[in-house]
Structures are given as structure tokens and as C-alpha cells.
């Protein structure tokens, strides 16, 4: 039986139960669009920029668990996708790029020309360093095998993006279905034969971790997004309760466990919760599972990180386990899932008794250093974003999905928001690209059957993918957008203040950057609109937003110079010089006596010298 290659691809999407893909049509992928639409199994969500297609594909996976596709055309249609691809690479999110290209007579790697055909270029070579697999299909008979291999590679080991490039003439080729199927069967057999059969010593590794936890006086779990990628978030509560170990979560793992659980002590890091940093810095054992321990978590000087602690690092990527050097007592290169299975099973048989002194001390940290405080006071009548986030939680729904952009939305949200079982939080934590919020919300909505999504955004971030408001409007998705209006790029204003004596360039209206009237923007795209200019507006505006059945923008006017606290910042010594303090000494600096009382391991010499 004969079949057109693009029709075969449409059928393959159906066999994988991929209900939605994201893309923009062009000459290079016209055959694919026609076949997929004609098959009427997979809906193509037509976005308005290819980077948005890839960002939406990421949150679609994170909400539905289904690996999906960004469907790209040739030329700029594929170059536009690169930001999204790098973001997926950084955050280990599986997704597939299927790009069209010029006719295969132009797309040979031996072609020395800068441009292939009309718009073509070597797209797979361009993205080869940020994808787990890249492949250009030159032989129409291999398309099924290539798709299946790429799909499995994307979601195996440490997940990530894959890129399949299919020239236009290959898409339109008519081939024998039986030959395609035979090639696919052969590829599947090879995949199974090459499957990793390494017998990990689960019992040995589990016993080692539990023995070290029993011996430690001040142990801590540091739990990351790798646990969700392994499909084991449901084991976290049993793990921490049966071991009685205080636990921290990474920003990408905030929603894995109830934020108010008595053994969960927040999010440590450069912009961490102050009490969480005290827990980390005073520990004597850190068991890090499924987190790559990035600089925003561990700080800039490893010698100052948890100075009395040794680390056990569990990560599926061996290169990530070496980052802390000699601080790592033992690294375990493995999927977090099977190890958690083993740990919980062993703990069920023999729980670890609580360490009351350490647990009491962690509770003291939580009590003495609350997440919001006097540093978050409103200034000049503007609503402080931290206090706004604290009150916004009271309006969350049981199944609330939150997607954030960068800047104020990211920092205030990830420091303050609290989540319960069934609620979700997602953003781009690795690349941290402005503009993620709107397409991320689109993907999350489709991934939850056109479900409601709360998108936390800022005026600057909105402008990076403003066109996706039309995608939301077209599908009438119930996406509620909070826009923090801070006159441009607030985080960069603070950077410029520190580096250039307060001189601004390209960060606000006066220095060259302006954003539109978002009430008019809302009207233009058919959105509802509400605003918060003072606390008197809060309950009405937020309630109106949450009750809305269609898309709506709620604009929050905050101080254009609001500070982001707490954070690890340069501090002044008594002699007038500047120094970067250790992770426990966040700004605004606490009184020395309070710091000294909190530091079981002793105050770092840098902190002694600071002018408080």
C-alpha cells in the first residue's frame, strides 16, 4: 500500500496520542500541515512566533506528561525557534522539533553555500549542541524509524529537545507503507537492544544514604525537578516523614510537595528564603536529589556553601555531579525514581527517629525569619509585589496552574507563593528568557484540556511575546494574566544602579524603553481588564480576574524602583570596600547578634567585617 510521507507522520502523531502540537505554516512544512489537518486527529495550535511554539510545547509536557511537537518551516521559521530549544535543553524538558527545509538536492551537508535553495540553511548543525538528537531525513523510507528514535531519546535519560529536519520533497514523496513499517520495526528492535541494562546497586546506594542520614546531626534533603521528571513526586511526603529530615525544594520543584508541610523549609539560594538559607548553611549533610545545584542555588563561592556539610548528589547526568568538587562525598549517577522507590521501601521497614534539636532549630529559623517582612513594606502608596503574592495565594483554586515570566513575576512568585497538592508552578529556570510567560500559559492550558492558567507577567516580559495574546483570544483560553507594571526592566535598573552610579540606559521610559497602555491592549485583543493601584483595589480586582470565564488582564502598579529582598548582594565592609557575603548573610543584613545566634557552624569572617 502506498502512503505519502507527510500522511505517515500525521498517523504517527496519532499513534502517540499527541492531541496538540504547536507551529506556524510555511512553504517548508505545508505538506505536513495539510496532512495533519486532514487526518483530523492532532490539533495544530497556530501561534504567532516559533519560539512561542517551543515554549508552549514545554509547558504542554509539564501539565499533560505528553511529549509534543513544535512544527517549523524553513529559514527564519526554524531560526526563530532556537530560544525555546535552548530553554528546553537547560530545563531538561522533552519536546520534538520537526522542521521543513528546501528540497533535498540543496540540503546535503556537503553543500558549501551559505544559503540552500531559497531560504534554507543547515538547521540541524546549528542546534546540534543544544539537542539530544538531530537528524535530517534524506531517505523517505527512514522517516518512521527516525521519528520513533527521536521520540524515545527525547524522554529517556536526562530529557531534552530533539530536532528532525525533513526537506519539502521528502515530505511529499509517495512510498510503500510496508517498507516504512519494516524500517520502523528494525529501529525499535535496535532501540530495545541498546537499552541501558546496567544493574545499578540500588540496595547499596539506598543503604549508604540512610546510614549517613542516621549518623548526621543536622541532615537536609534538597529536592529538585528531576524527581518530577522521574514520575515520583508522590513519594516525597513519605520520604521526608519516614526519615524526619528537614527538606528544601528548588525553584523548579516548588510544586512537588505541600509548601506548608512542617518538614519543608522553603527554597534556598541567592534569592532564597532567609530561613531556608540558614537551614542549608548550618547542615552537616546535604542529600541533593534531582537538582543540578546551579549557581542561583549554591552561590558564587563553593567554599562558603554549607561549610560544615558533606554532600551526596543524585543526578542522572554525571557531568552535573562533579560541579561541587570535593564537597561531594558520594555521587550517584542514576534516575531519581528507582532510588526513591528503594529509599521509601527501606524507610517503611525501619524509619529514622527524629532529631529533635535540629528540627526545633529549623522551626526557630522559620519563625524568626518569615518569608515576608518589614523589607516588603509598601512605598509611596504602591503595592509591594511580595505582599501581593502573599495575598494572591488566598485566591488560588484547588487545581491552580501558575506560569511565570521573568523579573518581578519570577522573583516575587518563587520566593513567596505557596502551593498545595494538585496545584502547579512552572517557568523557565535555566535560560530565564523574558517572554516565556504568555506561550507557557498557552501550552499549559492546552495541556490541561484548555484549562485555566494564571500567568504572572511584567510589562517588559509581555512585550517579548505580546503577539500570543491573539492565540489566547482566538481559542478563548481561560488565561488570567497579572501584569506587574514597573516601568520597564526593574531588575536591570538595579544592576545599572550598582554598576553605573544610577545611570540608566534602555530600562525605562526616560532612558529609551516604553510599554503600552495595557488597558488598551486588553481591549484590542478582546480581553477583560482590571487593575490594582492600591490595596483598596485588591480584593475586587483579583476576584474579578479569578471569576472571569475568558481571558483577562489584571494590571498591578508597583513602585518603579522596588527592591527585591532578600537576596545575596554586595555589602559594605567597615573600611568602605565591597564584598560578597556568604549565602546565609542575605540583604538586607540582619543584626550581627541575630546572625551569630543563628549560625551553629559559626559566623563567616566576611560577615564579621560588614557594616550593618
For cell 519536546, name the residue: 95
Q: Compute the distance between CA of residue 609 and CA of residue 560 in angstroms, rounded to an integer.
A: 32
Closest C-alpha among 426, 554, 403, 392 to residue 483: 554
Band of pLDDT at residue 553, cut at 50, 70 and 90: very high
pLDDT surpassing 90 at residue 193:
no
Question: What are the C-alpha distances in Å from 506 to residues 78, 102, 460, 466, 560?
Answer: 29, 39, 11, 19, 14
> Which stretch of 123-132, 343-352, 570-579 has the lowest confidence by average pLDDT?
570-579
Q: Compute the distance between CA of residue 369 and CA of residue 463 in angstroms, rounded to an integer.
A: 36
What integer is the mean pLDDT of 161-169?
Answer: 97
Rounded to a whole number of angstroms, the CA Rg of the chain reads 25
The CA-to-CA distance between both ends of the chain, in Å, stands at 80
The predicted structure's pLDDT at residue 502: 87
Percent of the chain topping pLDDT 70? 99
- Angle separating helix axes 143-154 and 5-15, nearest 10 degrees: 30
**Mean per-residue pLDDT of the chain:** 95
Band of pLDDT at residue 195, cut at 50, 70 and 90: low
What integer is the mean pLDDT of 32-46?
Answer: 98
What integer is the mean pLDDT of 457-486?
Answer: 98
CB atoms within 10 A of CB 110: 4
Domains of the chain: 2-193 (3.40.50.970), 202-368 (3.40.50.1220), 376-557 (3.40.50.970), 571-608 (no CATH)
Band of pLDDT at residue 158, cut at 50, 70 and 90: very high
Q: Over 527-571, what HEC string results?
A: CEEEEECCHHHHHHHHHHHHHCCCCEEEEEECCCCCCCCCECCCE
The predicted structure's pLDDT at residue 199: 44
Closest C-alpha among 422, 435, 494 to residue 271: 494
- Cell readout for 457 is 507577567
pLDDT surpassing 60 at residue 381:
yes
DSSP label at residue 106 = T
CB 527 within 8 A of CB 457: no
Residues 6+ apart with CB under 8 A from 28: 72, 73, 74, 75, 77, 78, 99, 100, 101, 102, 119, 120, 168
Query: What is the SS3 assignment for 223?
Result: strand
pLDDT surpassing 60 at residue 197:
no
Nearest-5° angle of CA 161, CA 164, CA 166? 160
> Which stretch of 188-197, 229-238, 574-583 has the lowest confidence by average pLDDT?
188-197
pLDDT surpassing 60 at residue 200:
no
pLDDT surpassing 70 at residue 403:
yes
Q: Which long-range contacts (C-beta less than 8 Å, at least 24 apart) are formed by 115-122? A: 118/75, 119/27, 119/28, 119/74, 119/75, 119/76, 120/28, 120/74, 120/75, 121/75, 121/79
The predicted structure's pLDDT at residue 234: 97
Q: What is the pLDDT of residues 275-319, one digit of tens each?
A: 999 999 999 999 999 999 999 999 999 999 999 999 999 999 999
CB 283 within 8 A of CB 308: yes
Q: Compute the distance between CA of residue 583 and CA of residue 446 in angstroms, rounded to an integer.
A: 39
What integer is the mean pLDDT of 254-277?
Answer: 98
Q: Compute the distance between CA of residue 101 and CA of residue 118 in angstroms, rounded to an integer.
A: 10
Amino acid at each position: 500500500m502506498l502512503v505519502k510521507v507527510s500522511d505517515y507522520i500525521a498517523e504517527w502523531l496519532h499513534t502517540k496520542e499527541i492531541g496538540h502540537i504547536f507551529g506556524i505554516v510555511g512553504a517548508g512544512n505545508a505538506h505536513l500541515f495539510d496532512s495533519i489537518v486532514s487526518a483530523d486527529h492532532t490539533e495544530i495550535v497556530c501561534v504567532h512566533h516559533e519560539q512561542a511554539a517551543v515554549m508552549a510545547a514545554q509547558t504542554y509536557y509539564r501539565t499533560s506528561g505528553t511529549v509534543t511537537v513544535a512544527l517549523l518551516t524553513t529559514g527564519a521559521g526554524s531560526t526563530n525557534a532556537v530560544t525555546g530549544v535552548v530553554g528546553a535543553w537547560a530545563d531538561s524538558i522533552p519536546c520534538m522539533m520537526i522542521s521543513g527545509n528546501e528540497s533535498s538536492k540543496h540540503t546535503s551537508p556537503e553543500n558549501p553555500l551559505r544559503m540552500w535553495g531559497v531560504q534554507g540553511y543547515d538547521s540541524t548543525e546549528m542546534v546540534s549542541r543544544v539537542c539530544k538528537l538531530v537528524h535530517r531525513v534524506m531517505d523517505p523510507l527512514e522517516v518512521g524509524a527516525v521519528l520513533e528514535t527521536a521520540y524515545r531519546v527525547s524522554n529517556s535519560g536526562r530529557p531534552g529537545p530533539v530536532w528532525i529536519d525533513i526537506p519539502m520533497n521528502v515530505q511529499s514523496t509517495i512510498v510503500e507503507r510496508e517498507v516504512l513499517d519494516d524500517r520502523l520495526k528494525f529501529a525499535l528492535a535496535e532501540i530495545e537492544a541498546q537499552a541501558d541494562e546496567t544493574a545499578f546497586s540500588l540496595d547499596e546506594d539506598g543503604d549508604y544514604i540512610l546510614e549517613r542520614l542516621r549518623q548526621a546531626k543536622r541532615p537536609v534533603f534538597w529536592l529538585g525537578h528531576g524527581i518530577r521528571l522521574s514520575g515520583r513526586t508522590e513519594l516525597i511526603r513519605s520520604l521526608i516523614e519516614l526519615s524526619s529530615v528537614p527538606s528544601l525544594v528548588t525553584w523548579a520543584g516548588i510544586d512537588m510537595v505541600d509548601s506548608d508541610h512542617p518538614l519543608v523549609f522553603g527554597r534556598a539560594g541567592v534569592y532564597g528564603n532567609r530561613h531556608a538559607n540558614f537551614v542549608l548553611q548550618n547542615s552537616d549533610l546535604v542529600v541533593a536529589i534531582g537538582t543540578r545545584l546551579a549557581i542561583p542555588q549554591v552561590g558564587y563561592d563553593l567554599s562558603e556553601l554549607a561549610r560544615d556539610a558533606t554532600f551526596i548528589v543524585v543526578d542522572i547526568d554525571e557531568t552535573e555531579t562533579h560541579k561541587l568538587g570535593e564537597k561531594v562525598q558520594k555521587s550517584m549517577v542514576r534516575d531519581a525514581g528507582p532510588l526513591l522507590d528503594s529509599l521509601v521501601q527501606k524507610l517503611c521497614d525501619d524509619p529514622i527517629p527524629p532529631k529533635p534539636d535540629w528540627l526545633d532549630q529549623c522551626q526557630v529559623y522559620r519563625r524568626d525569619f518569615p518569608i515576608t517582612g518589614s523589607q516588603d513594606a509598601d512605598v509611596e502608596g504602591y503595592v509591594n509585589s511580595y505582599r501581593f503574592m502573599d495575598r494572591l495565594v488566598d485566591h488560588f483554586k484547588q487545581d491552580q496552574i501558575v506560569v511565570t515570566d521573568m523579573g518581578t513575576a519570577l522573583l516575587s512568585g518563587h520566593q513567596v507563593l505557596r502551593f498545595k497538592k494538585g496545584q502547579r508552578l512552572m517557568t523557565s529556570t535555566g535560560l530565564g528568557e523574558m517572554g516565556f510567560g504568555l506561550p507557557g500559559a498557552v501550552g499549559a492550558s492546552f495541556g490541561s484540556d484548555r484549562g485555566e492558567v494564571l500567568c504572572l507577567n511584567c510589562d517588559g516580559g509581555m512585550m517579548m511575546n505580546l503577539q500570543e495574546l491573539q492565540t489566547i483570544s482566538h481559542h478563548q483560553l481561560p488565561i488570567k494574566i497579572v501584569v506587574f507594571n514597573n516601568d520597564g526592566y526593574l531588575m536591570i535598573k538595579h544592576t545599572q544602579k550598582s554598576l553605573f552610579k544610577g545611570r540608566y540606559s534602555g530600562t525605562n521610559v526616560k532612558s529609551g524603553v516604553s510599554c503600552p497602555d495595557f488597558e488598551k491592549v486588553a481591549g484590542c485583543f478582546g480581553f477583560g481588564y482590571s487593575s490594582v493601584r492600591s490595596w483598596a483595589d485588591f480584593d475586587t480586582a483579583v476576584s474579578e480576574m479569578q471569576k472571569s470565564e475568558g481571558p483577562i488582564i489584571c494590571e498591578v502598579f508597583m513602585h518603579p524602583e522596588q527592591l527585591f529582598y532578600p537576596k545575596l548582594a554586595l555589602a559594605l565592609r567597615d573600611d568602605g570596600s565591597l564584598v560578597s557575603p556568604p549565602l546565609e548573610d542575605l540583604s538586607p543584613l540582619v543584626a550581627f547578634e541575630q546572625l551569630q545566634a543563628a549560625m551553629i557552624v559559626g559566623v563567616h569572617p566576611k560577615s564579621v567585617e560588614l557594616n550593618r
